[in-house]
Structure 1
Amino acid sequence: MANLTLNNKAIEKYFGLLKGLDNLSKKKLIIKLTESLDIKEEKVEIRTLFGAWEDDKDSDEIIKDIRESREFR
């Protein structure tokens, strides 16, 4: 999962929304956020990003398919 980085202004806006929660809801939110810190990111091996195109179509057929799939609005 991609990480989202917030600036201080955005964090303050979120806090403004969340500070009105009851204590039980705040505790649940703290627990969820704390647990999310412990989740380890899965590493993607670079070699999984490479490979040959697997298809029996020739280039003309692929171009034809692309052109036919276009939608104009």
Structure 2
Amino acid sequence: MANLTLNNKALEKYFGPLKGLDNLSKKKLIIKLTESLEVKKEKVDLNTLFGAWEDNRDADEIIKEIRESRVEKSENTDFE
């Protein structure tokens, strides 16, 4: 998610309507803002990064198939 940086003038515009909130609502808002400051580190399980490709062929067979499936483009395409 992208971060938004506000200057003092913009902060004052946002704070204006918040001044009228009751104390309980202000405390809830403070808690939400404080929680949003906490950096949550995502734990990556290394096992999920391996084993995605399953194939019975060896590397030479796979390379051969890739090379054979290539198509050479002989005509020049103009986009005019």
Interval containing the TM-score (normalised by the shorter chain) = 0.5 to 0.7
Percent identity over the alignment is 88
- For residues 12 and 18 of structure 1, the distance between their equivalents in structure 2, rounded to whole angstroms, comes to 10
The TM-score with structure 1 as length reference comes to 0.53
Larger Rg: 2
Bigger proportion of residues as helix:
1
1:10 paired to 2:3? no
1:41, distance to aligned residue in structure 2 (A): 7.0
Higher RCO (C-alpha 8 Å, min separation 6): 1
Structure 1 unmatched runs, 5+: 43-73
The runs of at least 4 aligned residues of structure 1 exceeding 6 Å deviation read none
- For residues 40 and 7 of structure 2, the distance between their equivalents in structure 1, rounded to whole angstroms, comes to 23
Structure 2 equivalent of residue 29 of structure 1: 29
